[in-house]
Amino acid sequence: MKRLVARFSADCTLYWVFGPAAVPFIQQYHDYNIGAPLITPTPCNLTEGQMHDLGDIAAGIWGIEYYTPELKNEINAKFVEDFRAQWGGEYPQTQSSAGWIAVNLFAEAVKKTNGDVSPKALKEALASISLNTPAGPYSFEKYGDAWVGKGNLYVMKTAMAADRMTWVPVETYEDVVFKDIR
């Protein structure tokens, strides 16, 4: 059977591959030598473990996300240190920071309500919270009838940082309202 490969010119290739399928997709993309940079809307779906498996071909992929362990702030430095100590040297990923943010936002809201955990009291308390997190500042903003999160988004590129391939921030967009971003 003859293999048909289309030749085209593109500035980049957007891919949206989840979980274990990311590694074979990136390997095949590299094997076909297409050359256009890969961009993913969900960097958290290409983990450091997967990048390790891919080796050098994992370098140079672009994405946008709200967290990487490479963010330079005091809270993140402590978070990464504590996480690595608890988890055998592994670095935290986006989902790890999301847990930190959610628990700490809830704790701050409960403090503001003096222990009232009714949905109405928590909603009012959360609306007034501004919290420094491993991912940077986080707060809420009114959007229609809802309160939605607001924080930084980072344009990132896969690259070597210290001892591993990871998502490295390249550009910061501050105070982005997290509505319909994906």
**3-class secondary-structure state, position 115:** coil
Q: What's the one-letter identity of residue 125? A: A
How does pLDDT run across 92-145, given as a tens digit for each residue? 999 999 999 999 999 999 999 999 999 999 999 999 999 999 999 999 988 888
Q: Which two tokens stand for residue 18?
A: 């989840």
pLDDT tens digits, one per residue of 2-24: 565 556 677 888 888 877 888 99
Domains belonging to the chain, first-starting first, are 13-177 (3.40.50)
Assign 80 a pLDDT band (cuts: 50, 70, 90): very high
Cβ contact 164:136 at 8 Å: no
pLDDT attached to residue 182: 47
